[in-house]
Each structure stands twice: as structure tokens, then as C-alpha cells.
Amino acid sequence: MSSQSPKLSVVIPVYNEMSTLAEILRRVAAVDYPKEIILVDDGSSDGSREFLEKLEKDGLESIEGIEPKNLNELKAAFQPHNQGKGAALRRGFQEATGDMVIVQDADLEYDPQDYFKLMEPMLSGEADAVFGSRFAGTPRRVLYFWHSLGNQALTTLSNVFTDLNLTDMETCYKLFRAECIKAIADELEEDRFGFEPEVTARLAKRGCRIYEVPISYRGRTYAEGKKIGWKDGARAVYAILKYAVKARR
């Protein structure tokens, strides 16, 4: 890629992800595209915070086996205590200086090589935001039926109020044109996983052009560290209804 390509900001919220941090950074750094990596520690207690403090000082090259491709700027931010994924993302969006901003979880469920699929409609000038769908026919690990059904139900409920036809509103992979996400960043309120329906509702309210592309997905089990639970699903329903009301004001 040319050094003149629009820069990508990769925002990674981190909460107790020590077991996967080095590997996800290897994978993100290996994406051959000019980018900055913004890591936001959300009050980790498993050594992740200390790992990021050292990484900020020593650089990406200090990770064994890392092969950075193209531009790789590194930033680390530290929340004073655990506040939730949504709060960490707001902090990351504030730090972002790229032309495009993508959310990347610190686990290994999503493949950073899919960035190119997500960027395609944005680089062609057709999209202001691009969602990566886990349910669009690509290979994926087979896991929980009820979790999948819950995702579909939340996406459908969200679509009812936003008048969008998304297949995966709850996806982690959301790519934004920088001016688009920064325009609503100060309005975002949800501190935890309610971020997903809230940001979707706010994008729809502004009339942003949203595209959806298929991505690969290798979900993890709760034993492997998956954090989202039924309480987050209940909060997502509340958030969908809350921001549907706000959108009509």
C-alpha cells in the first residue's frame, strides 16, 4: 500500500486479555496497511496493564515474533478503573488520528486480515460506516445456539427502530469514517456492551451510509474467556429502546 493511503486507527479495548494480547498484536501489526494501534486498558488485573506500560516504552518490536507491516504507530491509554467496553472505546476514539477508525477486540475471535474487506466500500467512497457480519455465509466456529438466537433477536429489534436491514448489529468489527464517529463520540453514553446498539442508532439517525460485509469468525467459549452474558443482552434491549426514543426527538 502507498504511504499516501488514508490512515487506519485500530482501537483495541483491553480488559484482562493477557493470554491473547501478544498474539492479537502480531496479527494486527501484520496487516499491510498504514495504521496506528490504540490500546485502552480498562482496569485490568491480570498483568495486561503492566504489559501495555512496557509495550508503550519498548515498542511493538519488543514482542517476540512480531513482523510489523507498513506504518505501525502505537499508543496506549489507561482507564483509572474498570468502566466497560463502551467507555474504553470512547477513550480510544478521542486518541485516534486516522482517517478511518475500526474496533478490534483483544481476543482472537476476529481476523484482522478482514480489514481489507471492511475498508473496500469506504475507500471507494460509498460508505461512512461498515459492519462486519458473522452471519453472511463465511466459515465460523459453531458455538452456542441461544447466544446466536439472542444476537439475531437484538439485531431484528434494532432494525425495527433504525429501519436498517443489518444481519449482525452486535458485531465487534465496525469501521467508521473518522469524521463520522468523532461527530457522535461526545454523545455516546453506554459504558458496556450497550455501545453496539447505541452507536448503530446514532449512525442511523444521522443518515450515515452503512454497508455490511461478510467476515470470518472464530468465537470463544466462556471457559476461554468470553465475557458477554445475559445481563448485557438485557442492557442491549434497554439501549435499543432508549435510543429509539431519543432518535425521534
Domain architecture of the chain: domains with CATH: 8-247 (3.90.550.10)
Residue 1 confidence (pLDDT) above 60 = no
**Concatenated DSSP letters for 150-165?**
HHHHHHHHHHHHH---
3-state secondary structure of 239: helix
Q: Between 182 and 67, whose confidence is greater?
A: 182
Cα gap 166→172, rounded to integer Å: 14
Cβ atoms of 229 and 184 closer than 8 Å:
no
Average pLDDT over residues 30-38: 95
* Residue 177: CA count within 13 A, CB half-sphere: 18
Q: What percent of the chain clears pLDDT 70, i.e. is strictly above it? A: 88
- Within the chain, how many helices (H) and strands (E) appear? 8, 7
Residue 221 has pLDDT above 60, yes or no: no
Q: Which of 28, 206, 19 is nearest to 115 (CA)?
A: 28
Q: Is the pLDDT of residue 212 over 60?
A: yes
At residue 226 the predicted structure's pLDDT band, cuts being 50, 70 and 90, is low
Q: Measured between alpha carbons, how far is 128 from 247 in angstroms, rounded to an integer? A: 19
Q: Answer whether 11's CB lies under 8 Å from 199's CB.
A: no
Q: pLDDT tens for residues 96-147?
A: 999 999 999 999 999 999 999 999 999 999 999 999 998 876 665 655 666 6
Q: Which residues of 81-112 are buried (b: 16+ CB within 10 A; e: fewer)?
A: eebbbbbbbbbbbeebebbbbbbbbbbbbbbb
What are the b/e assignments for 178-202, b being 16+ CB within 10 Å?
bebbebbbeebebbbbbbbbbbbbb
Task: Output the pLDDT for position 49.
Answer: 97
Binned at pLDDT 50, 70 and 90, residue 37 comes out as very high
**Integer Cα distance of 247 and 249 in angstroms:** 6
What is the pLDDT, as a whole number, of residue 145? 66
Cα(185)–Cα(94) distance, rounded to whole angstroms?
8
Task: Determine contact, residues 18/85, Cβ cutoff 8 Å.
Answer: no
245: pLDDT strictly greater than 90: no
Query: Mean pLDDT score of the chain, rounded to an integer?
Result: 89
Q: Give pTM, 2 decimals.
A: 0.90
Report whether pLDDT(222) > 60: no
